[in-house]
Amino acid sequence: MRRHRNVKIVATLGPASSDYDTIRALHEAGADVFRLNMSHGEHGEIAERHRIIRQIEEDLNSPIAILADLQGPKLRVGTFARGEEELVEGAAFRLDLDEAEGDTSRVCLPHPEIFAALEPGADLLVNDGKIRLRVTACGADFAECEVVIGGTISNRKGVNVPDVVLPLAALSDKDRADLEFVCELGVDWLALSFVQRPEDVNEARTLTKGRAAILSKIEKPAAVKCFDDILAVSDGIMVARGDLGVELPVQNVPPIQKRLVRKCRAMAKPVIVATQMLESMIESPMPTRAEVSDVATAIYEGSDAIMLSAESAAGDYPVEAVQTMDNVAREVENDPTYREVIEASRRADRQTVADGIVAAAREIAETTDIKVICCYTESGTTALLTARERPKVPIIGLTSLRGTARRLALTWGVHPVMTGELTRFKMAVINAARAARAEGYAEETDQIVVTAGVPFNVPGTTNILRVAPCQESLIYATDPG
């Protein structure tokens, strides 16, 4: 299923998008990746959505990536005797480990690890930052606070601690169980929440045992500070702007987003920009102009993918939200300014033969009448490197591994196609020409660029490039061997 854009669309599934017809309509409207949110839904529901996606993939012969998003540790206050209380600015308020119901002066915070990390002067944010508490004194089982920003506090509201690195693993017991479940189910990407340090990613990688690629969610200030180290051990990144906007001043988020996207591209690792992209479409068939501008900005920055959350999972207009994203993406990518921005941000940091091959493929494609770059890839690396170049022409990622084809559905500009295992380069060229014609990227009279590694089926051996005709008789005539 050919897309007429390069950026990919991630759609979250939920109560509004759980049946075959709706999920198929989402894919046909433009969703390339489906997100399974492990914070909501029982394992049986997740398994059924997974089954439906794979059925649609088979019915349409279109590789689809499935992203399972782990919940991560949830830090919440306890309960109140009256259900809720009003905190007044300047008042004193205590957090402690006492399980007794709370009142206007105190409430339980059942997380000793928070108290272990707190220092006087640290801020705690409650209910998505609507309430701000500043620590004045603390110990192993309590924190005396001053209410800096007041408001209504109620049962089990979430708590964010932006100023310290918490001694918490990114994986809770629930996450470990969910991780094993979705890996056995056969998801392609695993999104890891609450990442603070590279060790969090390494722990998840050990548990996945190569069954899924790891995508780190950047949602905490600590993760921003050590982003380079986290990126080095991750397969991809999600810029989770919702939590970032709670724990950091909101004006800090746009430059962080831009900086992280560029770093991911330089490392040839997919990056998703997520959270509140078309939030008004949860209830409205039309987005706001500001939302459209936000989506466009992420595309201009060169993001690999843009994501819908509640818009497609629980909204009234899930298909329309995907169509809107698709329309915005097409319009932006047809804007001459888009190419200027993309090309200006290209970093020529090339150190390997594969780097040189894919750079040459882009140069040739853009200076001659080439319709498509066809790259053979086993691990997906060659396709990722080609996508990093952000060529003007489409990219077909040819692979014999279904898992690789599915993972590449998240990568900018790559149209994944399954092919048989090869032993001769001439057959690779013939198969590439067939795929280019069959997928609607080229005609027999056109030329394509083919990259591959010889010997075949050995990851990391990209070492050959050929400009070839799309007509098989001409391929045989120029390469009779």
Coarse DSSP helix, strand, coil percentages of the chain, rounded to the nearest 5 percent? 40, 25, 35
The two tokens of residue 244 are 């970032």
Q: What are the CA-CA distances from residue 438 to residues 102, 127, 241, 370, 429 (Å)?
A: 66, 52, 39, 17, 14
Count of C-beta atoms within a 10 Å radius of residue 81: 10
Query: Closest by alpha carbon to 366, among 338, 342, 390, 334?
Result: 390
The two tokens of residue 408 are 């590449």
In 297-394, beta strands by DSSP E: 305-308, 370-376
The two tokens of residue 331 are 């319009």
Alpha-carbon distance of 277 to 252, in angstroms, equals 17
Residues in the chain: 481
- Whether residue 275 contacts residue 287, with contact meaning beta carbons closer than 8 Å, is answered with no
**What type of residue is 336?**
P
Residue partners of 355: CB distance under 8 A and separation at least 6: 385
The two tokens of residue 152 are 């209504």
454: left (phi over 0), alpha (psi -120 to 50) or beta: beta
DSSP strand pairing (65-69 vs 189-192): parallel
Rounded to 5 degrees, what angle do the CA atoms 402, 404, 407 make?
Answer: 110
Catalytic residues: 35, 76, 217, 275
Query: Closest by alpha carbon to 194, among 221, 160, 229, 220?
Result: 220
Q: DSSP 3-state assignment of 215?
A: strand
